[in-house]
Structure 1
């Protein structure tokens, strides 16, 4: 689907409103991926604040990420020597939305929240603690064999971390008090420390990083 799909407008977005759980995506057509993702991430920051209450440090970090890290990491992506093109993604591809056909045994997916995006956006959810059944390296490696990393390849994991902010905040906004809010903030701190240091936010804590520490999904804050 990622390789064969073609955006009808050659832009990122979708022609009708789609949702991740109960939360709508801002899917207005946009020719620039960094601009589209900045708008998408901003929507999740605002929804999280509305559901969970204000958090000044998170808002400061989010503003810095959207203004500085998003254009830095997403502003000039390419694939096979050409600028990335919009790919149709499922939009909520985690283990509870994947199954097999009872009659044929063929794999099937459902409960999509699709839009045309950078294809790497699809698998950022596998970084989230609630989607760890698709988190093992074997799934990621199998995907990347079919659709190799965009350039610069050395920043693939940082892009994946950046994209996962949307997923973690989406979870937080739908279930206030779960730890994904702190995980999202921690991811912002990591990216800021690495690419654009800023005062007034916390330090990256590897114990709040699901790729480093085994965090139990049931933890609430």
Structure 2
């Protein structure tokens, strides 16, 4: 995608995540979806939950950790679920409104319309969740310029505190999913992120 279209893409994604647009909002005010969806080959449990921390911990991270069946990942995953996820996904602002997300928004699922030259999103892995979960895979694979993020955050301001670490947590989901599907170097990426986040929470939750 040409760099001049990055702000346009950011506005389209931000509009999809608009917490006051009726078509973006969860129909029942909860996180999840009526049916399972797939991220790559992986079926996602979208059973509704009223708490974002619980949904992301149980339906996303724990679900993958259990399926990977790796002792080191299981040990780190337990600490993530017991300590890191509650720390990063509780008491932050703006509060996580459940809006529709694409769910797998890497560069390969973005193109440009031949009709009007505007960005087109396809091959979704959708559910209703915190808008910033969308940014995790963008950070994992890159491909988005500073112009994209600057424009996106104009419309959807960064959640605080610990915004960067929360995005890192959302990125972890995709490292774990790729570990489950492909193995290889994705495993080391997942372990690195978990160790970094565990250390961050250890330092920032003392006292």
Structure 1 segment 184-195 matched on structure 2, within 5 A: 184-195=190-201
CA distance in 2, matches of 1:122, 1:69: 19
Asked whether 1:104 is paired with 2:111, we answer no
Q: CA deviation at 1:160?
A: 0.6
Asked whether 1:171 is paired with 2:190, we answer no
CA distance in 2, matches of 1:125, 1:87: 17
Equivalent residue for 1:19, pick from 27, 32, 38: 38
Aligned residue number for residue 100 of structure 2: 88
Aligned residue number for residue 148 of structure 1: 157
Asked whether 1:115 is paired with 2:134, we answer no
Deviation digits for residues 41-74 of structure 1 (CA, Å, limit 9, x no counterpart): 111212333xxxx2x2221111101111101110
Aligned residue number for residue 30 of structure 1: 49
Asked whether 1:57 is paired with 2:72, we answer yes
Asked whether 1:46 is paired with 2:66, we answer yes
The structure richer in helix per residue is 2
CA distance in 2, matches of 1:191, 1:140: 22
- Runs of 4 or more, structure 1, over 6 Å off, are none
Q: Which moved more, 1:40-49 or 1:164-173?
A: 40-49
CA distance in 2, matches of 1:99, 1:46: 34
* Aligned-partner SS, 1:12: coil
Equivalent residue for 2:93, pick from 65, 78, 93: 78
TM-score normalised by structure 2 residue count: 0.84
CA distance in 1, matches of 2:187, 2:151: 29
Q: CA deviation at 1:140?
A: 2.1
* Aligned-partner SS, 2:175: helix
Q: Which runs of 5+ in 1 are unaligned?
A: 198-221
Aligned length in residues: 183
Q: CA RMSD in A?
A: 1.4
CA distance in 2, matches of 1:22, 1:191: 27
**8 Å CA contact retained: 2:96, 2:129:** no
CA distance in 2, matches of 1:91, 1:69: 22
Q: CA deviation at 1:162?
A: 0.8
